Structure 1
Amino acid sequence: MRRNVPIGYTMVDGRIVLDNKKAELVIKIFKDYLNGISTDKIAKYLIAKGIPNANNKISWSYGSVRTILVNIKYLGDTIHPQIIDEKTFESVQKRRKEIAIRFGKTSQVNKEKNQAVYSGKIICGECGEIYREYIQNIGKASEIRNWKCKRYIYQRKVCCRNPFLTGEEIENIFISATNKVLSKMWLLDEEKKKEAPKITMEIRNMEERIKELEEEEQFSSRELSELIFKRAKAYYSITKIDDYAYSTEKMRQALVEREQLMEFDEDLFSTIIKQMTIHKDGKILVEFINQITMEEDHENIRKDG
């Protein structure tokens, strides 16, 4: 079983200790950021130099660099030795806030960005339609934004009464489900058995007809060649490419540096969430890109919010 140990540390006899070389890398990332280098440029530099991340992969992004910059474990605690001093850590957080304000990352801008992030990923468990954002009193102080089934209103009538969600509730659902995965990182170490494709009746009929034509030695017949082509096409349509290993590794890369989430991260949401299915009874199934599913309760999320 793997332990989710942040870069800069390693496990020795069940204890977390400093990995001196990688701890120096963490210090350099903090210093570079304070010297005005963006997280994106830091990530590109690390890749160009062939420097591995905590998972020993040469894979970096501005998101993974940002995760390092906000990790309070580097200040030291009863388990993690200190790598970053408090003054440096606070200076980095101050610069991050200044940049957020400078580039207009206000709540309104984030609402518009999150609208694109959620689009196509929130699914109605009753009718199968996607959720879309409905805005009331747009542009006014009393503006209300809710995510509802696309068929909530159809031909000027209320058709689907599945529960609606606010943007904040979607964020809380994501945070809760992702934290469950973070607390069970061993799930990302499990191998999934491949399932054989299910043969349809159409394919069975084609197989039988092909066999008949071959027994009749109709090898040059147009019907046989067409059937063989259709059979190949049919098999392709039911054969799913097994990307479980790839998707699981992608999730591991996105989560390996992280502790429990305290706030919404739209980049992480886009990277690891396949869809959220909202059911009438308030149950919400959060499916990750590698098919791991976590169940959340709408009422509990609303109460917690």
Structure 2
Amino acid sequence: MKRMQKHIPLGYHMVQGRIEVDGNNAEIVKMIFQDYVNGASINQIAKKMVELGVPNANGVPIWNHGPVGNILKNEQYLGTEVYPALIGTELFYKAQDRRQQVSRELGRIAQPNRLDKQSILAGRLVCGICGQPYRRYIEHSNQYGEKVNWKCKHYIYNKRICCRNIFLIEEEIQNAFEELVSRLTLHPKIIQENKPEKKVPYNIKIGKLNRQLIELGELPEYPADEMVRLIYERAKEQHKAATIYDWDYQTTKAEEALKARKTESGFDEELFRAIIRRIRIHPNNRLEFELINRMTYDIPVGKGEEQCETVYQRNDSKKEHIYHTGESGI
């Protein structure tokens, strides 16, 4: 059974059984990420939240280091099967980079061999079955034959096998990315496919302000000061509600990154960071690469169902030590 989350993360709300972005609270989440990337400490952000009177998950305006830190590391803001994307990839990973830097400065990273903290794949691999992130494991850690594996976070949950999606060797993921880059290089026009339509969501506050302006305009005595105030309020709401239509910009960024590629072969970490938003891992040995412009491209990996069954049998039966490197992201 899938574990239910106690609270919907700040920035989302439930509408007719679906999770949607919650206007004003979404702006607060973006503010938290931007302030942190700009140099504010987590405690400073918590103090600001209290001053603004923002209610926490329990409905009271009390904030401290913990809840703000949980927001900054919540990968659901990048978008999942359930939660729509709220934070852009670049901003999210800038925040993660700063969290790592702060942790190093404070001496909080006590396990230097936790390689998932350094892996460029961390936070970008998502299970195509249950939507959970993939974790990194090291088999035969610090021994001959050491091998880096990735598997769903819920493969083992509460001491039971809960998700049987495929395991992947890190090299398989890197090879699939190289195949993707090869195809994009040979057929550059495919990155321009499936351009989304611009959608501007309806905003209740803007509608209310429009009605107030109409009503004021019908009064015998023209209330100029109040009209100016309402127009200003409407402009602020329109700015908040405006959809950031950045497909052209992100597509151009991806194209430029591909053209500026420094290596002709091998896994290019800089290029990966520049063009990949997420990779969904499907049980039929298919990796669904999502580029920064949200175009998706499927790349097969492994040897099909036979390999999938072998992996399950091998990992269900072996007794050897496997070193777990921790969560997929910080």
Bigger Rg, which one:
1
TM-score by length of 2: 0.45
